[in-house]
Amino acid sequence: MARYTGPVCRLCRREGVKLFLKGDRCYSSKCAFEKRSYPPGEHGQKRTKLTGYGLQLREKQKLKRIYGMSENQFRRYFEKADTMKGITGDNLIQLLERRLDNIVFRMGFARTRREARIFVRHNHVLVNEKKVNIPSFLVKEGDVIEIREKTKETEFMKDILASTQRRSVPEYLEVDREAMKGTVKRLPQREEIILPVNEQLIVELYSK
């Protein structure tokens, strides 16, 4: 499955909830979901009652779209979460949160996860002083994530920091915005990850 490259506001409308895929725009009056909260398409305003399977599928699609992944990628994360100790749903969310592109986004070094993914791919991010250009790289406790020196000096990066200055940083991260550097203090816990998703329905979907 190829990565989705169309208008991301349609994804929020399709899922019936804000997924915050466009950064500042999602908090403004320009947000497409605020104007048209019904699904896109000719029959978008028709009321439909979802079956049990339909509810499970929508939860999976929401989580996939929040983190920007294909079906194959997502299934691999689920299979890995299922082999780990603990609750499979919690493990799945934790694995997704540990992705490098998500950590860059959470630290406020990118306005969206999509932008963070581009940053990582283009070698703008260092992990423990080494270039890492794999967005799916899983960070560990104690890892230091930093924007490379040349990128720090650009107006583009300064604009991003200005745009994200009011964004709260999760407690499991420690960020020095002036140095554009952050540390993973510990691995994230499910209760501190706020997502409009019921992961138990995803577990039920894949367990059939």
In three state form, how does the secondary structure of 18-82 look? Answer: CCCCCHHHHHCCCCHHHHCCCCCCCCCCCCCCCCHHHHHHHHHHHHHHHHCCCHHHHHHHHHHHH
Q: Is a pLDDT exceeding 70 seen at residue 163?
A: yes
pTM above 0.75, yes or no: yes
The residue count of the chain comes to 208
- The segment with the largest mean pLDDT, out of 45-59, 133-147, 153-167, is 133-147
Confidence label for 1 from pLDDT (cuts 50, 70 and 90): very low
pLDDT, mean of residues 113-131: 95
CA angle centred on 165, ends 163 and 166, rounded to 5° = 105
pLDDT at 158 over 90: yes
Chain Cα centroid distance, residue 206 = 21
The highest-level CATH class for domain 99-187 is alpha beta
Q: Do domains 9-96+194-206 and 99-187 have the same CATH topology?
A: no
- What residues does each domain of the chain span? 9-96+194-206, 99-187
User: How confident is the model over 35-64, as pLDDT tens digits?
Assistant: 556 565 544 556 677 788 988 998 998 899
Tens of pLDDT, residue by residue over 94-118, are: 999 999 999 999 999 999 999 999 9
Reading the block at residue 182, the tokens are 């952050």
Task: Fold for 9-96+194-206, please state it.
Answer: Ribosomal Protein S4 Delta 41; Chain A, domain 1 (1.10.1050)
